Structure 1
């Protein structure tokens, strides 16, 4: 059975009698005085009440509703509420700069902005409310800044009747997410009910052994809830009715550990950067991780020490790590299951987690082409990766020409460089914009992190000249020069490493490094990268 439309998801689950218990690391911004535990019926009520508030705020079918608020799963509930009205939710990360948010809101021209006082005051000099017809404040904290008297609060829109459900055509835009923005202003990706519900979520609703949620599972996630993963994850996981779901709104290791100790997960999904910030939990073999049978990381590169550490922390007999690769525009394209045995070797020059596995059977296809001619190259040769999937997004808001440049008939230009092996697996080397002739920056990052335990994160930047530029994150911002010299003795020539602490590195909402911005910070006079950036 296909999952329902987004707007009626919780109604269907409640009618079906779903017994999944939902646990929160903190109360919703939609209900700041509310509980941290919900059943499905209570969530259905909250979505209906929120839809009534949005309608009372003036939202009508076809309108865009921008959501910019602190990270929490109620971002998805707001998307469900807007969808009930036939409106189109646009989910924007609060981690974006004021300039980026201003430009994206201008492009969206939303009928309503849903935000919080803390979000509005976090960027002095940027008035986000100026770029929406109306603004609705949630979160329970009052706001007294610019245009405060014109901003709606829940008290202004409470008490209205729940409006009827408005259905949209399956190929109309249903939800808007933005890309990571590692190379500039994020793109606003439009997905339809057909692409994100019928194609992405429906596939994950199948009870695939090992990978799918079981009724006995406690499923935890800490993915950013504005991310393109959040909507299909919500639909598919709740459709499978696990025993419990744990929503981690904050990445702070202490909060995460306390939340997971109360409700220990059997599956745990997060961005690679989140796992890196929690690596002390793995090193201490925290009881919060002891029951995990499956870890899941999606979209971004994950390095071997992270995977190895978390697999070792589980007391499950055979824990697995599912590494997925894909894009906001396409959803997952390949996956690979890693085990303790997969990563027994360490510190060597071999692909390890650069091997992203095979295309999703029956769902996706990959092709490798020459970046200059766009003609196919043979197996085992590096080139630009094209993907074919029926889950491809339907457009970019305000940049349809840019979308058309990346679409080649049914194929999609990912902008990544990689190799398809003779066995059909994908070895990812770099983004095209970051490419370096004769080397793979991400593979070198794997090796360096494997060889230097004190390195929390390594980013290798391609710069014109004979040397690569490594930027290393350590806990205290220092590095042993002798250990460094030993670690890179057999690697391509590198400049002296730049050492930083975690918060000194510019990041996306998922914690991925903004490489171009980092280059400008550490080498302000360095020319532009060697790649063209044509397909970013």
Structure 2
């Protein structure tokens, strides 16, 4: 990854990268780049890191505003032999402080705005690493770009394929995120190499315009960067801000043929499909990761495409494992199927992943078609949880990995997800109930069902104005298990992770003052 952009430039990769705003590491560099220009930017950043003191085996923490230059900085760190740790600035200051303590980084790369925001909450970022490099502004004790400019990039320093390559973190829906270490063999050799295969219908073509709207601090985009550059589409369009009005001009100027976006970004982009110049008309492949997308959203985008047979590819996996299953949706598979569940996650990747469902108490296998704790087996499993190795060991059972999810392995081999173990409740599947409610409540942007220990589940309905007519709710719950009266909220009132996932424990605490959840939480 340290020489990825150099190698693509030597192959004369003709991809043009188009940004919705300039990089934070090159604010005067414009919004359009050729691959050789990106290679030069990575080399320049490698010189900065070397001048700041990053060397072979050191950890380099990256905490900044959301943009694809997270991955450029990571590649620069790899180039000097260091281990990049990409951490979202969306995290709470308390969570960020804990992760930085676990890392004990040699260099921290951040921005003046992030440092100032943390200072207001009592965290001195400048002292969180042996050296701190500010991408903008000045702070006592920190290095500025003026202090490190002009340092030539050292020659690439390769490290063994099984050594740590990159550190990312989980979404953090259940509390402080876990740091996850991957090697070249796991995240590149197992995941990126497989995804770079030119498969019919879903492979990237030379004439494609690929759009990504993601959280670039996460491992998915580090892997995606390797894939996207090696597949060499005509255009790569990077959306760093999920707001539909900000993304709309880029989407209309460069109508995509492939879109990968966070589930929350798809929800935000739905109003764009109703405009006369619908920017999704050329899309042949939609890709969603991180979390399942509810059926109404999938239908909206498939119907917005003018392509003869567009596909929606839904992947389920974890930061620790990469994708474990895939499922494809078509217009026909979703047409007229009200109440269908996106929790049908598809089938394990043939020859690459295996799944086993066990009793959560005894870990004995359960019969097909019965719910249990899902274990996964994959060569792409992460190396460790840095700073929490005992937690990693607790989730490893020989070659099997405890996902912490409750699911069903059906007789035909497909897997359906019921709930996270910490959220499971005997009355119903919270996740499947959410799918049904979203299908039945047209004005709902999102539905969240929160399990309670000794009470019926508490439903939350997210709408544009934070209101929900009583009649709409009464019609929606016909035939469903008993729940409490719904709490209508706006999108902004719901606490979320950097990837847009609902922080269920925090939401429950905000609404009830109660932090007690029905599951054990042993494997979060």
TM range (shorter): over 0.9
Residues 187-207 of structure 1 deviation map (CA, whole Å, 9 limit, x = unaligned): 000000110110110001100
* Counterpart for residue 505 of structure 1: 494
Among candidates 43, 48, 52, match of residue 48 of structure 1? 43
Q: Residue 357 of structure 2 contacts residue 371 of structure 2 at CA under 8 Å; is this kept in 1?
A: yes
Moved over 4 A (4+): none
Q: 2:323 is matched with which residue? A: 332
Which residue does 1:128 correspond to in 2? Answer: 125
- Measured after TM superposition, the shift of residue 347 of structure 1 is 3.2
TM-score when normalising by structure 2: 0.98
Tell me which residue corresponds to 1:357. Answer: 346
What is the CA RMSD across the aligned residues, in angstroms? 1.1
Equivalent position of 1:3 in the other structure: none
In structure 2, the CA distance between the partners of 1:514 and 1:15, relative to structure 1 (3 Å rule), is same
**Alpha-carbon separation, structure 2, partners of 1:220 and 1:282:** 16
Out of 7, 10, 33, which is 1:12 matched to?
Answer: 7
Give deviations 1:410-430, integer Å, cap 9, x for gaps.
110000011111110011111
Q: List per-residue Cα deviations over 1:392-438 (Å, max 9, x = no partner).
A: 00000011111011111111000001111111001111100000114
* 2:208 paired with 1:217: yes
Moved more, 274-283 or 51-60: 274-283
Q: Name the residue aligned to 1:534.
A: 522
Judge conservation of contact 1:346–1:451 (CA < 8 Å) in 2. no
Shift of 1:466: 4.7
What TM-score do you get using the length of structure 1 for normalisation? Answer: 0.96
Alignment of 1:172 onto 2:163 = yes
Contact 1:299 1:332 in 2 (8 A): no
**1:10 is paired with a residue of what secondary structure?**
helix
* Equivalent position SS for 1:429: strand
Matched, 1:302 2:293: yes
Per the alignment, residue 110 of structure 2 pairs with 115
Where in structure 1 are there 5+ consecutive unaligned residues?
1-5
Please report how far the alpha carbon of residue 274 of structure 1 lies from its aligned counterpart in structure 2 after TM superposition. 1.0
Instruction: Give the whole-Å Cα distance in 2 for the aligned partners of 1:283 and 1:362.
Output: 41
Q: Any conservation in 2 of the 1:347–1:448 contact (CA below 8 Å)?
A: no
d(CA) in 1 for partners of 2:503 and 2:117?
21
Q: 1:466 to 1:107 in 2, by over 3 A?
A: closer
Residue 149 of structure 1 aligns to a residue whose secondary structure is coil
Secondary structure of the corresponding residue to residue 114 of structure 1 = strand
Which 5+ residue runs of structure 2 have no aligned equivalent?
none
State the match for 2:445 in structure 1. 456
In structure 2, what is the equivalent of residue 384 of structure 1?
A: 373
What is the alpha-carbon distance in structure 2 between the residues aligned to residue 338 and residue 301 of structure 1? Answer: 12
SS of residue matched to 1:289: coil
Confirm or deny: 8 A CA contact 1:218 1:264 kept in the other structure. Answer: yes
Shift of 1:210: 1.6
Counterparts of 1:35 and 1:287, CA distance in 2: 27
Kept after mapping to 2: 8 A contact 1:505/1:518: yes
Does the aligned pair in 1 maintain the 2:126–2:141 contact within 8 Å?
no
2:237 corresponds, among 246, 250, 254, to 246
Counterpart CA distance in 2 for 1:425 and 1:128 is 46
SS of 1:465's equivalent in the other structure is coil
